[in-house]
Amino acid sequence: MSNAKRRAIFLDRDGTLNQDTGYVHRAADWRWLPGVPDALARFKAAGWLLVVVSNQSGIARGMFGSAELHALERWLDEQLTPLGAAPDAWRHCPHLPEITGPCDCRKPAPGMLLRAAEEMGIDLAASWMIGDRMRDARAGLAAGCRAVLLRSGWGKREAAAVRQSLPRTPVLPDLAAACAYILARDA
């Protein structure tokens, strides 16, 4: 049996996979961003693990519970499995420091990525973090991954700051462009 570690694409959720309309926790409110299911399928076909890592402070705020969030994730898996695009894992941080106190999992902290890497045998140095916020890129870099910022979601507002603060982090239009970028480097 091989002890080889695997590569992963860590993905933010809101603003990266779906339209960030605020505290999305029901299937009825989910709206895919263009090209996302296809990009996920392309990553999977190329042998990458997909791990969604998402801050979900709506739980700490009492807006919804973990059970509702897990129900949404199961629904998403049902939509993506026939396409060969279902994530291998869903991770979320339910905390909000003002309410729950500090934690090591709320991005930009790397806790969600580090725990997933340990549990799933992921080589962080061979992996990527993709998101639409500076905190996503910072979490990926802190975990030892490479990072990509998308201009979808919040990325339109944060692109200039990322270019200045994290000049080696590519800023790309959307997940399809990030997929093409990463797969081209992997060839």
Q: Which residues contact 184 (CB under 8 A, 6 or more apart)?
A: none
Among residues 151, 147, 179, 184, which one has the least CA distance to residue 166?
A: 147
pTM: 0.96
Identify the bridge partners of residue 32 per DSSP, sorted by sequence position. 18
**Could you tell me if 144 and 122 are in contact, meaning their C-beta atoms sit under 8 angstroms apart?**
no
Tens of pLDDT along the chain (187 residues) come to 456 899 999 999 999 999 999 999 999 999 999 999 999 999 999 999 999 999 999 999 999 999 999 999 999 999 999 999 999 999 999 999 898 889 999 999 999 999 999 999 999 999 999 999 999 999 999 999 999 999 998 999 999 999 999 999 999 999 999 999 999 998 7
> Pseudo-torsion of CA 82, 29, 110, 158, nearest 10°?
110
Q: Which residues are catalytic?
A: 12, 14
The fold of the 8-186 domain, in CATH, is Rossmann fold (3.40.50)
Domain boundaries along the sequence of the chain: 8-186
